[in-house]
Amino acid sequence: MSATPTVPPSLSEIAARRGPPPRTPGPCKIEADRLNFFYGEKRALEDISLQIRPNVVTAFIGPSGCGKSTFLRTLNRMNDIIAGTRVEGEVRIDQLNIYDPGVDVVALRRKVGMVFQKSNPFPKSIFENVAYGLRINGLTASKADLSARVEESLRQAALWDEVKDRLQDSALALSGGQQQRLCIARALAVRPDILLMDEPASALDPIATQRIEELVYDLKRRYTIVIVTHNMQQAARVSDYTAFFWLGRLVEYDRTDRIFTAPAEKLTEDYVTGRFG
């Protein structure tokens, strides 16, 4: 039980033992290239390089404070709104570096949707929550079009049948699990390519969690999904690829079955078997 290493192996040590980091075969949707991230002077991410394939679910796991959420938020530049943060290196989505000065953050975030740890529906009606992204981005031409897109999004999020008769009710009257699915519907409404999920089920009961996981499974046919979770069973259940973060470093990134059955790193094995974390 005292297997917790106190000093992380340096990246060069990891690289020397394993060779170059695994490059996933096939096309690449998101690619981080030697990404460093700073909160003020503190370096929260160190030289993260990884490639994420389209239409798969990639899970980020690791103990609290390991940088997995921070890394997720660099993928749609949500960290921009925090004062005193700084990014070095590149994140390329469809080969375009999203930290290029010419990149429009508004356009980026439409393409890369996000669902947060704590469900955060707007204090408006269910309908208006989903319609908001469509309205502000001017995505629908008519009222009928808007209603159709709202319905489509709610259906995709497996929420339509539960709310179709009370679309004008406040979103805050929904249960926690329904609120989170509403937030997913809201993100899907603007038709992103990528869906980032930051511990989307951590505040939900097991049944609501299961519904979210089923939803993630259904959605990957149409979206590239990146999910942060502190629940290893969840990562094993929903994801195709898993990245293990520790102290701001990417320790191991591989197919989920390999991470959980035959990890290359001792550190990964200790974590996924529950020896620390």
Does the footprint of another protein cover residue 200 (CB under 8 A)? no
**Paired strand residues for 227:** 59, 197
Q: What is the rounded distance in angstroms from the CA atom of residue 93 to the CA atom of residue 122? A: 28
Q: Does residue 235 contact residue 202 with C-beta atoms inside 8 Å?
A: no
With CB under 8 A as the contact rule, the residue among 133, 200, 248, 263 that binds another protein is: 133
Nearest distance, CB of residue 35 and another protein, angstroms: 20
Residue type, position 223, single letter: Y
With CB under 8 A as the contact rule, the residue among 172, 205, 257, 261 that binds another protein is: 172
Site for another protein in 9-68 (CB under 8 A): none
Shorter beta-carbon distance to another protein: residue 113 or 263? 113
Shorter beta-carbon distance to another protein: residue 23 or 166? 166
Show the site string, 209-238: x = touches another protein by CB under 8 A, - = not: ------------------------------
Q: Does residue 58 contact residue 227 with C-beta atoms inside 8 Å?
A: yes
With CB under 8 A as the contact rule, the residue among 38, 39, 122, 217 that binds another protein is: 122
Distances in whole angstroms, Cα of residue 180 to Cα of each of 56, 169, 252: 21, 16, 30
Does the footprint of another protein cover residue 106 (CB under 8 A)? yes
Number of residues that bind another protein (CB under 8 A): 30
Stretch that binds another protein, among 25-33, 166-174, 206-214, 225-233 (CB under 8 A): 166-174
With CB under 8 A as the contact rule, the residue among 45, 50, 66, 78 that binds another protein is: 78
Nearest distance, CB of residue 83 and another protein, angstroms: 5
Backbone angles phi, psi at 227, to 5 degrees: -125, 130
Q: What is the 3-class SS of 34-99, one letter each residue?
A: EEEEEECCEEEEEEEEEEECCCCEEEEECCCCCCHHHHHHHCCCHHHHCCCEEEEEEEEECCEECC
Shorter beta-carbon distance to another protein: residue 177 or 192? 192
